[in-house]
Structure 1
């Protein structure tokens, strides 16, 4: 798989915009909790609430995650 790191950088930068705070351009390094809650409600991840800094994907979530990664972040696949 030929990964397009520029697309990954752009996506990460766009995600940082979602978590800007303090009017100094600071952004949280983790995904916003409202997003993880929605992914949980859709059945893509197991319960995201807890002390862990990671989440566990369901079978459906893992399959969709892989498909989306290939579409969004690999060269030559596009939408």
Structure 2
């Protein structure tokens, strides 16, 4: 198995941690959003936002919304790293 370079690993593991520690929050229209706290490297957060895996909204907010693409990527990363999802 090929090794993952450190920058890519940090990005993938950040996405995984956000997914595994996510919580539900209702938006203004009553829809449930998968949210995560923003306590990770800001450059990585900005990259994930730019790639549409998360949405920061305001850069001042302390949480991010995980997009459908981010949820899909996270589930793929669970399989890649052989981590069980929550039941």
* TM-score (normalizing by structure 2): 0.44
- Larger strand percent: 2
* TM-score (normalizing by structure 1): 0.48
Bigger relative CO (Cα 8 Å, ≥ 6 apart): 1
- Larger helix percent: 1
